[in-house]
Amino acid sequence: METKDKKLLLKIADLHEVPQGAYNLRKNGEGVARHSTANIEIKPKEDKPGIDIIVKPGTRGESVHIPVIITAEGLEDLVYNTFYIGENADVLIVAGCGIHNPGSVKSEHNGVHKFIIGKGASVRYVEKHYGEGQGTGERVLNPQTVLELAEGSSAELEMVQVRGVDSTKRETKAVLSRGAHLVITERLLTHGEQLAESEMQIELAGENSTVQIISRSVAQEKSKQIFYPRVAGFNKCRGHVQCDAIIMDEATVRAIPEITAYHADAELIHEAAIGRIAGEQIIKLMTLGLSAQEAEETILQGFMK
């Protein structure tokens, strides 16, 4: 495996070597390595690019790694992945995409992930995005995540975008059945003239379903960010949306949280805050021996955790 491949895998999936358990590695639009286990089957789709990941009912303590890396310029990659999570299963899924663009032509990855989560099942899904490369070509990532949560199931989504992605549009949709629980944590940093958009549409359809959305972002230089999380309650349910952003330099941040209740027992809350780093925070850290730049970086790292 080439050095840049290893670096990308470390950035997006914390992988130093081939992972244990089930995995599927995709590079430059092609599958290059795949492994199934007794409880988790990964197989290619027959009608379009992508894979089906089938987790047997009752599977617990296992993981699936499905990283994508792109190291060529001018590539437009599109993949469809479907996850079938059996009843009462409990699994970790680590995804993500890293782009190393060495040239002047745009490289782009579009991933459509669909989760069908069975009754009583639990999923933790981690998706990291990262871009690099000395070339002037754009690094573009457009993920779509669609979830169907059955009765009593739960999903925890951790969406992270670190430096180097020039343009991204993230779309997340979910429908929750009775007693289902969803937590979405989104962390994002943009710089330069990067653009990041995030749209969410969550339907709390079942009685006692719940969702919590936490978005934390930092916008630097001339970058632009747009957040549009929407939660609709169709039954007795609870939903909480929180958007916090630090804005710096000449950046632009728009946060447009929307909540809609279609039932008298729907309890929905939204919060949004945008602001700069407080000067007293910088001064306090500088009294401990940090430079102004080190103090700022420390504050940003703490905010994004």
The one-letter code for the residue type at 161 is Q
> Could you give the percent of the chain with pLDDT greater than 70?
98
DSSP helix/strand/coil, 282: helix
Q: What is the DSSP letter of 213?
A: E
Residue 156: pLDDT above 70? yes
pLDDT of residue 303: 79
pTM of the model as a whole: 0.93
Number of domains into which the chain is organized: 1
Residue 295: pLDDT above 90?
Answer: no
Look at residue 285 and tell me if it is in a domain: no
- Dihedral sign, CA of 24, 146, 212, 200? positive
* Dihedral angle sign, alpha carbons of residues 299, 125, 167, 33: positive
Task: Decide which of 93 and 8 is more confident.
Answer: 93
The residue with greater pLDDT, 305 or 294, is: 294
Residue 287 has a pLDDT of 82
Structure confidence by residue, pLDDT tens digits, 264-283: 999 999 999 999 887 788 88
Query: Which pair of tokens denotes residue 169?
Result: 């549009």
Q: How far apart are CA 134 and CA 50, in angstroms?
A: 29
Predicted pLDDT at 138: 95
In a domain, 288, yes or no: no
Mean pLDDT of the chain: 93
Mean pLDDT confidence for 126-138: 90
Whether pLDDT at 14 is above 70: yes
Q: Which of 105, 203, 213, 116 is nearest to 157 (CA)?
A: 213
In this predicted structure, what is the pLDDT of residue 247?
94
Please indicate, yes or no, if residue 86 is contained in any of the structural domains. Answer: yes
144 in a structural domain:
yes
Q: Is the pLDDT of residue 17 over 90?
A: no
Confidence of residue 133 (pLDDT cuts 50, 70, 90): confident
In a domain, 81, yes or no: yes
In a domain, 112, yes or no: yes
Q: What's the mean pLDDT in 192-214?
A: 97
- Please check whether residue 292 lies inside any domain of the structure: no
Shortest CA distance to 179 belongs to which of 208, 204, 154?
208
The average pLDDT across 159-167 equals: 90
Q: What is the pLDDT of residue 1?
A: 55
| Bridge partners for 232 per DSSP | 203, 260
Residues of the chain above pLDDT 90, percent: 80
**Domain containing residue 11:** 3-277
Res 121: pLDDT: 98
pLDDT digits (tens, 9 = 90+) for 223-247: 999 999 999 999 999 999 999 999 9
pLDDT in the model for residue 175: 98
Q: Is residue 88 part of a domain?
A: yes
Q: What pLDDT is recorded for position 9?
A: 84
Exposure letters 163-173 (e unless 16+ CB within 10 A, then b): ebbbbbbbbbb
Task: Provide the token pair at 177.
Answer: 């059945």
- Structure tokens, 143: 């993920």
